[in-house]
Structure 1
Amino acid sequence: MDKPDTLAPSAPRRFRYFDMVMASFVAVLLLSNVIGAAKLSTVAGFTFGAGILFFPISYVIGDVLTEVYGYAKARRVIWVGFAALIFMAFMSWAVVAMPPAASWDGQEAYESVFGQVPRIVLASIMAFWAGEFVNSYVLARMKIWTKGKALWSRTIGSTVFGQAVDSAIFYPVAFFGVWDTRDVLIVMVTNWLLKVVWEAVLTPFTYLVVGKLKAAEGVEVFDTDTDFSPFATTGKDA
């Protein structure tokens, strides 16, 4: 097998699987926010947000994006996810607000499920934007510090910081006044811990996906000259 090229993230390159990874990221992001974010579950005396089962997968995919394609490409995907969340918030508000047909008796149930989605998505937009950029930044920087070795330290380390920011923003904004304050604080901390544990558990899967994608794309990206501003839209690495 030919050794992958070591490229600066600014080098022009057409990637075969980048669009598929981006689509997976956005799909998991939207579904985890719509289906799982608002439900509290208690299993064996342990209370947690049901979305914890799936939302961390978006962080794993975010790690894969940064590790394989570099920070600039991951930044583009984060903004795509940001736009998708805004559209989902608008669509949920519009659909709930539309008057139901006289023959349809599901409006109350529909509102109970989707009625607080706009608030949840507002919290998710803020938390996702900040948390994902922190996650991607830490991973990209650590890749340089570790010279591309010890992938596990980068994926777990970036998740510790990224998910801490995400949880600290999301749960208070989304659920203060909706849940008991005690539940908000408990779920905020326990979900952060669970997300980090999930990242550690999924490390072998991350290694597998990263290895296959790097081999398929034939590239190894180090963000040595990258503009890390979340708002960079021009320039060689944007």
Structure 2
Amino acid sequence: MRGFKHLDTITALFVTVLLVSNIVSTKIVDFGFFTFDGGTLLFPLSYIFGDILTEVYGYARSRKVIWTGFIAALVMSVTFIVVGALPAASDWTYQTAYDQILGLTPRIVIASLIAYSVGEFSNSFILAKLKVATEGRRLWLRTIFSTLVGQVLDTALFIVIAFWGLFPASLIITLVVSNYVFKCGVEILFTPVTYWLTGWLKQQEQEDYYDRRTNFNPFHFRPQQTVD
């Protein structure tokens, strides 16, 4: 597989956004008309990076980055849980604060990983299919539509799995709607930036991949990108 100048950098940024978003999601914030977890401020950027990855490098390379993020989030979450369960030093008095902020329960971890996987793969799959269908035209339509689908799955799955039975149904609905509207709004507002970055990367990398013969199975790990 050929090398690229900027794929590693985009991968690192994507994973960074994912991990930071998961950590700050422990705080529910009141942001004007919106009520959402703190990770919502940053997490939409992961979908923008996902759009750029699929648009420029293709679904198969995007799939590898998505799984890289999944493994990194899993390692981070398990580490937080294990460290939280270990006995604290006698002169360290912050165990309660640690448990409240970083002591992720298995339910939150499962919710985050399932929602992330379903949302990101749906976003990448739809974008790749639409690129072929539109012959590379109307990038704005492809990025926005794929995000509308990916984000509704991601947001609804995470909040329902993580908080159903813990929060009132009214708050669950408020969180889903607020998260979804805000995330999609960020995607739409950043459309000019997405256009510029994809155009610049296509020129830099001399790559503009079309997934005409790609195996879209999320669990297809063989190195080749196309199938007969």
TM-score by length of 1: 0.91
| CA distance in 2: counterparts of 1:17 and 1:43, whole angstroms | 34
> Please, what is the CA RMSD of the aligned residues?
1.4
Give 2:13's match in structure 1, choosing from 24, 36, 46: 24
Question: Where do 1:27-106 residues align within 5 Å?
Answer: 27-35=16-24, 37-106=25-94
% identical equivalent positions: 43
Quote the residue 2:173 is aligned against.
Answer: 185
Q: SS state of the match for residue 41, structure 1?
A: strand
User: Would you say the 8 A contact 1:33–1:121 is kept in 2?
Assistant: no
Deviation of the 1:110 alpha carbon: 1.0
Quote the residue 2:193 is aligned against.
Answer: 205
Q: Which moved more, 1:96-105 or 1:108-117?
A: 108-117
After superposition, what is the alpha-carbon deviation per residue over 1:69-113, rounded to whole angstroms, capped at 9, x for unaligned? 000000001111111111111101111011111111111111111
| CA distance in 2: counterparts of 1:87 and 1:95, whole angstroms | 12
| CA distance in 2: counterparts of 1:169 and 1:160, whole angstroms | 14
- Indicate yes or no: 2:11 matched with 1:15: no
| CA distance in 1: counterparts of 2:125 and 2:92, whole angstroms | 49
Structure 1 residue ranges without an equivalent (≥5): 1-11
Q: Would you say how many aligned residue pairs link Structure 1 and Structure 2?
A: 226
User: Would you say the 8 A contact 1:140–1:222 is kept in 2?
Assistant: yes
| CA distance in 1: counterparts of 2:166 and 2:77, whole angstroms | 18
User: Would you say the 8 A contact 1:92–1:117 is kept in 2?
Assistant: no
**RCO higher in structure (CA 8 A, sep ≥6):** 1
Deviation of the 1:234 alpha carbon: 2.0
| CA distance in 1: counterparts of 2:3 and 2:210, whole angstroms | 17
Structure 2 residue ranges without an equivalent (≥5): none
After superposition, what is the alpha-carbon deviation per residue over 1:127-151, rounded to whole angstroms, capped at 9, x for unaligned? 0111101000000011011111111
| CA distance in 2: counterparts of 1:164 and 1:45, whole angstroms | 19
TM-score by length of 2: 0.94
